[in-house]
Amino acid sequence: MKIAEHSRPELTKRLASPDGLRLEVGPFSVRIRSETGVFPPFLRSLYADFPLSSPETVADFRIRLRRPKTFRRFLQPQIIFESDGQKLFQPFPLSHAPPLFEWGLNWCIGTRAHQYLILHAAVLERGGRAVIMPALPGSGKSTLCAALMLHGWRLLSDEFGLVRAEGLLDPIPRPIPLKNQSIGVIRRYAPQATLGPEFPKTRKGTVAHLKPTPASVARMRETAEPAWIVFPRYQEDSPARLSPLVPSYALLKLATNAFNYEVLGAEGFRRAGRLIRRCELYSFQYGHLEDAMNVFDSLPGR
């Protein structure tokens, strides 16, 4: 059963129970306990199409959003993120429970899921072929990723390229966190898109989450074959320009930008190397989303 098929009080009750709620997020099962009223509405609207895992699964991550037991709770209410009973970060203001959950789950995946080579990249698919967009500073990756998804591409992930041993990509189509100006850009680009509430003054400024398209979530068990690696760079008002990239450079950039390349060792090098060899490699400069969509509609492939 999907999240949206449960009423808000039902979700709230589940989340507060000792066993919590078991959410299926791509290849992972996440057990969530939460005592705050801020979280269930967020979960219900932005994870609407995600299924609950069977109660018989062993959760990959065991997470709890908890109010700290200090006198501060009366002054300025706070929330902490726990994984397996261990507090991971400094407390957030209570109202920021949703971004804390998203950030904490990212942390859990990036530091633990070493069955994958975990690229720091956005991944989308169309016609059975996936494009990987590594996240480099100033790339505008999330904005571009959001626009492509709203343009009909299937979202695999805005944050993680999960590279399996045989080289295929596993989806994890969670909500896309849009920051600052990107929020307005996407609202204008697609007024029909569902965005969550805005959270001002987070570490990264104002953040609002874009709901993944139902088609992306419905196909989150379907792996995708990598076909392109595109390093985007946003430059105000620049015409869209796609240029081929030297493989050695792409390999080093991709590897150093991954979350666990070092941890995987030789296996990380092999997976990254094979990925470079099977993909077309480009750098892409753009200034307008509409131009970018046109370029991506006709990405030259083999």
Partner 1 sequence: MNDRQILLRALRAPSICRDLSNREWESLLALSDRARLTATLAWRLERHGLEDAIPPGARRQLQASRVFADFRNRQILWEMNRVQRVLRKADFDVIALKGGAYLLLDLPLARGRLPADLDILVERKNLAAMEDLLLAEGWQTTKLDDYDQRYYREWMHEIPPLRHPERKVEVDVHHALLPMTARIQASPELLWPSARAVEGSRFKVLAPEDLVLHAVVHLFYDSDFDNRLRDLLDIDELLRFHARREEGFWRRLSRRAADHGLTRPLAYALHCCHRLLDTPVPADARLSGTIPPWLLRWMTLLIHQALPPPTTHRFAPLDATARWLLYVRSHYLRMPLRLLLPHLAYKAWKRN
Partner 2 sequence: MNAQRRWRTNKSHLLWEVWPREAVIYNSLSGETHYLNHLAMRLLQKMEQGPISEEALSDFIGKKETIDDSDAQLKQFLQQFDQLGLIEPAE
Binding status of residue 180 toward partner 1 by CB under 8 A: no
Shortest distance, CB of residue 260 to partner 2, whole angstroms? 12
**CA dist list (Å): 226 to 39, 99, 124, 128, 173:** 35, 29, 9, 9, 16
Site for partner 1 in 6-45 (CB under 8 A): 19, 29, 31
Q: Which stretch binds partner 1 (CB under 8 A): 187-195, 211-219, 258-266, 293-301?
A: 258-266
Kindly state the number of chain residues that form the binding site for partner 1, as judged by CB under 8 A.
23
Cβ neighbours around 211 below 10 Å, total = 20
Binding mask 193-232 for partner 2 (x = CB under 8 A): ----------------------------------------
Shortest distance, CB of residue 47 to partner 2, whole angstroms? 37
Q: What's the rounded Cα separation, in Å, for the pair 107 and 73?
A: 25
Site for partner 2 in 246-275 (CB under 8 A): 247-248, 251-252, 255-256, 262, 265-266, 269-270, 273
Kindly state the number of chain residues that form the binding site for partner 2, as judged by CB under 8 A.
14
Q: What's the rounded Cα separation, in Å, for the pair 121 and 162?
A: 9
**CA dist list (Å): 47 to 67, 209, 210, 218:** 23, 11, 10, 12
Q: Which stretch binds partner 1 (CB under 8 A): 107-115, 189-197, 235-243, 269-277?
A: 107-115
**CA dist list (Å): 220 to 55, 87, 227:** 19, 30, 18
Q: What's the rounded Cα separation, in Å, for the pair 226 and 278?
A: 7
Shortest distance, CB of residue 14 to partner 1, whole angstroms? 15
Q: Which stretch binds partner 1 (CB under 8 A): 96-104, 184-192, 237-245, 263-271?
A: 263-271
**CA dist list (Å): 300 to 92, 107, 148, 195, 252:** 45, 35, 17, 32, 23
- Work out what residue 273 binds among partner 1, partner 2, none; the CB cut-off runs from 5 to 8 Å by kind: partner 2
Q: What's the rounded Cα separation, in Å, for the pair 44 and 198?
A: 16
- Work out what residue 270 binds among partner 1, partner 2, none; the CB cut-off runs from 5 to 8 Å by kind: partner 2
Shortest distance, CB of residue 248 to partner 2, whole angstroms? 5
Choose between 222 and 252: whose C-beta lies nearer to partner 2. 252
**CA dist list (Å): 169 to 67, 228, 234, 273:** 37, 12, 25, 15
The closest alpha carbon to 245, from 141, 164, 116, 132, belongs to: 132
Shortest distance, CB of residue 83 to partner 2, whole angstroms? 26
State both tokens at 27. Answer: 């290849």
The residues that touch partner 1, with contacts defined as CB under 8 A, are 19, 29, 31, 55-60, 62, 82, 84-86, 112-115, 262-265, 267
The residues that touch partner 2, with contacts defined as CB under 8 A, are 247-248, 251-252, 255-256, 262, 265-266, 269-270, 273, 276-277
